[in-house]
A and B are shown apart, each in its own frame.
Chain A
Amino acid sequence: MKKKPFCFVSAVLAVIMILSLAGCTAPKKYSEHLNDYVFTARYHDNFNILQLTDIHWNVNTSTKTSMNYLDKLFKEVSDHLAATQGEGAKIDLVELTGDMFMLANSYHLNTFVDYFEQKAEEYGFIYAPIWGNHDRHSLYHPNELAKRFKNAKHCVYFEPSDDLYGRSNYVINLTEDGTKNSSVAWMIANLDSGAAFSETELSVFRDYDYIRPEQTDWFIAEHALAGENVPAIAYYHIPQDENEKAWKAVSEEGADIRNKFFRLEEFADNGNEKYASDFIDRAKDHNLKAAFMGHAHNVDWTFEYEGVVIGLGVKTGPELYFAHIDVESDDEAMQAGLKSVGITENFDLIGASLVTLTGRDGSFDLEHLYFNERKDGDFAVWVKW
C-alpha cells in the first residue's frame, strides 16, 4: 500500500519530464524548406480576393444567424462582380484575416469549416485562414484548428514545425498555369502577427504582438524565390506601427497622405517603438504593393505609404463589437470617414473588402463593402478606394 504515493509521484514526474523534453528538440530551419510554404493558384486579370476579417464566432454566437449573414454577403459580392466585371467573374480567393473565433469550441470550428467548404464549392473559390490573437483563446486545441484547415478540400493552409515565428505563415503564388512550373504573376503572403506578450513577468497589461524580423526575412526569401519583380500583397491580423504613424501624420500634422474610410478607435497595435515591426519598411523594397489586416473592428482606414496601400479590412458580421455610423454624430473622426465615403445614411461598419488584381504590373482595385441586414431590405454599399 505504501508504494502507491510513490508510484503516483513518479508518474506525475514522468509526465512532466516527457512534456519538458517535448520542447527540447531542435526545430527545423525555415530557410531550408522555403518551397514547402508555397501554394499556387492560376492567375488571370481581375483575380478577386475577398477579405473577411474578425468574424469572431464565440459561445454567444448563433451560427445559424451568422451563416445567414454570410450567405447574403457572398451573394452580394457575387452579384456585384457579375455586374461590374461580367458574368464569368467570381470570387477567386477568400482571405480570412484572423479572429475567426474567440471563446469558441470544436462545434464552432467544425461548423465554420463545413460552411466555408460548402460556400467554396458553391462559388468556386479557395480560402486562406490566418491566425488572429483570439483564435488562440478557445475550448479547442490549437492543433485541431490547424488540422481542420489543413484537411479541408478548398482551404489553403500550412503550418510547419520549424523555427519561424507564428503559425500561419505561407504564400499563395498566382502563376500562369496554376502550378509551380510557370512564372509567378502575383505573390500573396499570409503572415501570423501573433497574439500578445508581457514585457516582464510582473507586467499588469499585455502588449499586442508584432511581425518579427525573422518573418520579414522569410517574406523576402519567399519573394526572391517567386521573382524580384513579382508584385506582392501581404495579409495579417494585427496592424503594425505604420498605421498609427500615418494617422497621426494626417490628423495631427496635416500630412498630404492619400487616405480613406473610417478610423473610429485606435489600431490596437503594439504601440511601443521598441517593438516597431520592420516588415513594411523592408518589404516595400521587395515590390510589396499592399498590406491588409483586421483586429480593430471600428477601423477600416486605408492609406498609401511610399507606394504601399495599407489598410484594415471591414469587420465581417455583427459579433463582439462594431461601430454604428451616425450621420448626425459630432465625432470628428466619424464625420471625416463619412465625408470620405460619401454615405448619407446611418449604417453599421460591417461587411467585407475586395481586392481585384487588374494586371501583372502590380495594379489592383480596392473596394469596401458595407453590408447590413435590415428588415426593410438589406443595406449594401460599395465604396472604391
Chain B
Amino acid sequence: MKKFFDRNNFVLAKQDGKQKKQSVIVMAAVIVFFILSAFTFMNFLYCLSDCIGSIVCSSADVALRDALRSCPIFLSFFLTLSGLMVAHTFYRNESPVILHKKAKKHTAIGIVLGALIIVYVIVMRIAGKYLSLVEGAPSPIYPLDSVLYALLFIVLGVLVMLFLKKDAASQLFCGPSRAPLQKKGRGVRSVFRTFWLLIALYGFCGFFYSFFIVDFSIGYVPYSIAMLLVSFVACLTLAVWELFYNNLTAEKRKEFTLPLAVISLGVSVAVTVFYFLALKGNLDGPSNVGFGLLPVAFSASVNFATLIVVIAPLIVSVTALIRGLSRRKHK
C-alpha cells in the first residue's frame, strides 16, 4: 500500500496517532462539506430555475423580486463551497506555504459571505421585504435559518483562522500531503474541475433525492432507474478521481490511467445508452419524474439538460483515455 500512495494518507499503516487523527478529521470535513455543498447547490438550482422561468416568460421584474428574496440561499451555497475549499486545501496540502495562503483566502471569503448574509437579512427585514425573521418557505424558519447557518460558518472560519495562526508558529498540522499541482494548464483545469465539481454536487443530491421524490409506482421505472444511475455516475467519477486516482504515486498513475479510463468510459457509455433506451420507453418520463431532480432542465423548457449530466463523465473518461494512450505512446 505504501508504494501505491505518495501521500501521508490515513490508509498508510505507519502514521502516528496525531497524524491519523488529523487525516480522519480532514477527510470527514471534506465529506461533510461536500454533502452540505450538494444540498445547498440543489437549493441554489431550485431558486435559480424559478428565476430563469420568470425571465423566460418575460417577467424579469418577478425574477428580480424572487432573487432578492432568495439571495441568502444563493449566498449560502457559495458560503458552503468556501468551507469545502478550506477542507479540500487541508486535504490536498501541497505545501505549508500554499496551505496557509489558500486556506486563509477561502476562510476569509467564507467569513465575508457569512457576514454579508447576516447584514442582508437584517437590512431586508428593516426594509420590510421580509415580513418577519421567520417568514417561512422554503423552510419553516427562513430567513433565520440562513442567519444561523452564516453564524455557524463565521464561528468555524474564526476557529480555522486561529488554527492557521498557531500552525504558522508551531507547525500543528501534520495531516496528509500531496505534491503541488503542475502550473501548466492550471487555468483550464481549474475551470473544468469547477464544472465537474458542480455536476458531481448535483449528482450526489440528485441520487440522494431520487430515493425520496421519484415515484417508482406510476410506470416510469426504467426512466427512474436511469435518472438514479446518471446522478450516481456523475458523483462517482469525481469520487474515484479525487479519493483514488489523485492519491496514487506518479508511477502508479501512469499505470492506472488507461485501465481506469477504459472502465470509466465503459460505465459512462453504458449509462448513457441505458438513459436513452429508458427515455425511448418513457417519453414523458422527464416531465413526470425527472424535472424534480433536474430543475434547470424544465425551466429552460428543453429536454436535453440531462445530457449535461450524462456527458460530464463521458468527457472525463475520454480525456483520461487520451491521456492514458498518449502516456503509453511516450513510454
Interface string of B187-223 (1 = CB under 8 A from A): 0000000000000000000000100111111111110
Q: Is B95 an interface residue (CB 8 A)?
A: no
Complex interface: chain A residues within 8 A of B224 (CB) = 19
Known interface pairs A321-B54, A322-B59; A198-B283 also in contact (CB < 8 Å): yes
Name the residue of chain B whose CB is nearest to the CB of A140.
Answer: B213
In the assembled complex, A65 has its CB within 8 A of some CB on chain B:
yes
Among residues of B, the one whose C-beta sits closest to the C-beta of A102 is: B50
**Residues of chain A in range 191-205 having any CB-CB distance to chain B below 8 Å:** 194-205
- Taking a contact as CB atoms under 8 Å apart, the answer to whether A136 and B53 are in contact is no
Interface of A: prevailing SS:
loop
Interface-side segment among B2-10, B41-49, B150-158: B41-49
Contact B302 A320 (CB under 8 A): no
Closest residue of chain B to A21 (Cβ to Cβ) is B221
B136 contacts which chain A residues (CB < 8 A)? 62-64, 107, 111
Cross-chain contact B302 with A206 (CB below 8 angstroms)? yes
Contacts of B70 in A (CB 8 A): 59-60
A320 engages B303 (CB within 8 Å): no
Q: B271: shortest Cβ distance to chain A, in Å?
A: 13
Decide if B225 is an interface residue (CB 8 Å cutoff). yes
Q: Is B138 an interface residue (CB 8 A)?
A: yes
Question: Which residue of chain A is the closest to B61 with respect to CB atoms?
Answer: A324
> How near does chain A come to B278, taking the closest CB pair, in angstroms?
9
Contact B47 A199 (CB under 8 A): no
B108-167 CB contacts (< 8 Å) to partner A:
130-132, 135-140
- CB-CB under 8 A from A107, the residues of chain B are 136-140
Nearest CB in chain B: distance from A21 CB, A: 9
Q: B49 and A103: CB pair below 8 A?
A: yes
Residue A318 at the chain B interface, CB threshold 8 Å: yes
Known: A59-B47, A62-B137, A64-B131. A19 touches B303 (CB 8 A): no
Q: How far is the CA of A197 from the CA of B288 in the complex (A)?
A: 9
Residue of B66, B130, B132 with most chain A CB atoms under a 10 A cut-off = B66
Most A C-beta atoms less than 10 A away, residue of B130, B213, B279? B213
Question: Is A133 located at the chain interface by the 8 A CB criterion?
Answer: yes
With A60-B50, A201-B276 known as contacts, the answer to whether A195 contacts B217 (CB < 8 A) is: no
B298 at the interface (CB under 8 A from A): yes
Q: Is the CB of A59 within 8 A of B73?
A: yes
Q: Please, which residues of chain B bring their CB within 8 A of the CB of A16?
A: 225
**Is the C-beta of B234 less than 8 angstroms from some C-beta in chain A?**
no
14 A-B Cβ contacts within 8 A? A20-B222, A22-B221, A58-B46, A59-B46, A103-B50, A108-B137, A108-B138, A133-B287, A139-B213, A141-B213, A161-B217, A195-B287, A198-B279, A201-B277
8 cross-chain pairs, A with B, having the tightest CB-CB distances, nearest first:
A321-B59, A60-B66, A197-B284, A195-B287, A321-B57, A196-B287, A23-B221, A201-B280
